Amino acid sequence: MNKLFRIDWLSILYCVLLLAAGLANIYSAAYTLDNAEVAWSVLEKQLISLGLAVVAVLLIQFLDTKFFERYASLLYLFSIFALLGLWVMGTEVSGARSWYAIRSFSLQPSEFAKVALALALAKHLGDFNTQIKRRKDYLIAFLLICIPAGLTLLQPDAGTALVLLGFFLVLHAEGLPQLFLTALLSLFALFLLTLVLGVTWVLVLLSFGLVLYLFFQRKRKRIIWPAVFTVLVFGAFTYSVSYIFEEVFEQRHRDRFNIILGKEVDTRGIGYNINQSQIAIGSGKFSGKGYLEGTQTKGGFVPEQQTDYIFTTVGEEWGFLGSITVLGIFILLLLRIIRVAYKQKTTFARVFCLGFACTLFIHVAVNLGMVVGLVPTIGIPLPLMSYGGSSLLAFGLFLGIYIRIEYQRTVA
């Protein structure tokens, strides 16, 4: 009995709450007035996935943390091969070659790459010889992130690639030189500015900023060349952003950005999803329209409602109260995992937990940001709530290892 108390029940409670909310809303989203059986069959499939996930969580509890540390590299390599294998045996679904189809079940290897990457990074940083501030070590870490991220981007699956790239945040939390985050944020701001203002204006602003900066600096001679160099790099970046946006991006990507930036409003075409999603959530008001009473949900106005847009059902049928409850539980869960992470005694354990939290955070932030219209449309499911087996199973693995790690810390 004593041992059972050492399990992180709080995290499990949050997860169970979210899973329950997910099931209820998946049922509602799939429920049609004339055919309730459809909803049951959808729910049934999700319950099977959930069962598999629970089994995974339970099975993991029989393994030692050392096992994962030892085989992390192997699992990572395996996941890379699985991603490569998609080019040979993958099935293309709506333009993306992201699935292995095994009979009626389909499996998304990129989901498991997240877990593998978390393990691999944890192992790399946990090594006695690794010093994240050293160039060689952080370059290896970058490589570990960029290989699977690049492979998923090629599928193309921008959403998962974004999640994988999100591990950069873990590196930052672990002490990566500040320069990288600063540079990243600057480039991101520059990216947005370029899209909003256009190349010319951004270049003008940059030059103006450079002149101002130099004017107020005393040791002008020493910094003049680095400063000019920086501006030149930024200028080149601006040009390349514009080039990539216009030449490399497809029209749908451009549209997605433009809608968020308020440049285009087209509620019938590309803006349909975001518009309908906001109508559904917005019409929920304070207390919602009631379970199974959502008119937008029943009418099927929101596309992909059971998967990526599951939160619209929450917003419409449970209203503001339901929305902030779900949001609150996610935040509590995230903070709980972070807290647990920093209690860990080994770097491996800490980095893995941070990786878990980071993955969860990127998912939640991008998904919720998307459905409320703050972030461009990127296909990322809402963890634990969206319909979909692979995602659920991947988070099952994360949760299982996380619980095992925390359990082992308290026992030791």
Partner 1 sequence: MRTGFFPLLIGFFGIVLFARLVSLQLLSNEYGDMSLQNSVLKQNIYPERGYIFDRNGALLVSNQPMYDLMVIPRNVRPFDTLDLCTTINISIEELNEQINKAKRYSMRAPSALVSQISKQDYAVLQEKMWKFPGMYIQRKSVRAYQTDVAANVLGYISEVNYFDMEQDPYYVKGELIGRQGIEKTYEKILRGTKGVNYLQRDKFNRIIGKYKNGILDTLPKPAKDITLSIDVDLQEYGTQLLANKRGGILAIEPSTGEILMSVSTPTYTPNLLVGRARSEYFNTLKQDTLNRFLFDRSLQGQYPPGSPFKVLNALIALEEEVIDTNTRFTCYSGHFYARNQFMECKCPSGVQNNLNKGIHNSCNTYFSNVYRKIIDKNNDAADGINIWSEHLSSFGLGNYLGYDHPVGQAGYVPNANFYNLWYPNQKWRGATTVSNAIGQGEILMTPIQLANVAATIANRGFFYTPHFVKGIQGTFIDPKYRTKRYTTISEEHFTPVIEGMANVVKIGTARIAQIPGVEVCGKTGTIENFTRINGVRTQLTDHSMFIAFAPKDNPKIAIAVIVENGYWGGRWAAPIASLVIEKYLKGNVKRAWLENRMLNGSLLDEYAKVTSNKPFAINE
| Residues within the interface to partner 1 (CB under 8 A) | 32-34, 169, 172-175, 278-286, 293, 295-296, 298-301, 315-316, 319-320, 323-324, 327, 331, 334-335, 338, 342, 354, 357-358, 361, 364-365, 368-369, 372-374
Q: What gap in Å lies between CA 7 and CA 28, rounded to an integer?
A: 33
CB neighbours of residue 323 within 10 Å: 21
- Of 322 and 389, nearer to partner 1 (C-beta) is 322
Nearest to 105 by CA among 368, 392, 312: 392
Positive or negative: CA dihedral 313, 384, 373, 113: negative
- Shortest distance, position 219 Cβ to partner 1, whole Å: 30
CB of residue 80 to partner 1, shortest distance in Å: 27
Min dist CB 160 to partner 1, Å, is 20
Place of tokens 């193309």: 156
Nearer to partner 1, 83 or 353 (CB): 353
- Judged by beta carbon, residue 257 or residue 361, the one nearer partner 1 is 361
Amino acid at 386: S
Min separation Cβ 281 and partner 1, Å: 6
Which CB atom, from 274 or from 394, has the smaller least distance to partner 1?
A: 274
In the sheet with 91-93, reading across from the earlier edge strand, the strands are 91-93, 96-102, 105-107
Chain position carrying tokens 């903070």: 335
At closest approach, how far in Å is the CB of 98 from partner 1? 26
Distance of CA 188 to the CA centre of its chain: 17
Q: Which is nearer to partner 1, 283 or 346 (CB)?
A: 283
Quote the CA–CA distance of 346 and 177 in Å, as a whole number. Answer: 21
* 156 preceded by a cis bond (ω within 30 of 0): yes
Here the tokens at position 232 are 């030149």
Residue number, 50 or 281, with CB nearest to partner 1? 281
Distance between first and last Cα of the chain: 16
- Residue 143: CB minimum distance to partner 1, A: 22
